[in-house]
């Protein structure tokens, strides 16, 4: 079965990032929007590990999300489409 994933959210520790990406995963998330909440990992690093995926958003949430009062800051590359920005922001409103 060839499953394609439309949105991927990375919420792991920074030292686990390289272990997560594999050819099998990259094939499934090839055109997926990747939302990274991994601290300290750059857009360039995520793009390299995902074999050139350009649909990457970096997000940083604060601890208040646990009680429904938090905020998220989201970074998009200049090349990100407005449609992908909108989908990402709609999803992150709930985080």
The model's pLDDT over 41-55, given as tens digits with 9 standing for 90+, comes to 999 999 999 999 999
d(CA 62, CA 70): 6
Measuring CA to CA, how many Å separate 51 from each of 63, 66, 81, 86, 95?
A: 31, 33, 19, 24, 27
In this prediction, residue 30 carries a pLDDT of 87
Q: Whole-model pTM?
A: 0.83
- Collapsing DSSP states into helix, strand and coil, what is residue 52? coil
In this prediction, residue 68 carries a pLDDT of 66
């Amino acid at each position: 079965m060839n499953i394609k994933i439309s949105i991927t959210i990375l919420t792991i520790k920074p030292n686990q990032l390289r272990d997560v990406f594999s050819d099998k995963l990259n094939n499934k998330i090839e055109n997926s929007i990747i939302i990274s909440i991994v601290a300290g990992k750059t857009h360039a690093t995520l793009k390299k590990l995902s074999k050139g995926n350009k649909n990457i958003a970096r997000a940083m949430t604060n601890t208040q999300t646990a009680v429904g009062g938090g905020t998220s800051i989201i970074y998009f590359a200049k090349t990100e489409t407005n449609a992908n920005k909108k989908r990402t922001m709609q999803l992150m409103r709930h985080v």
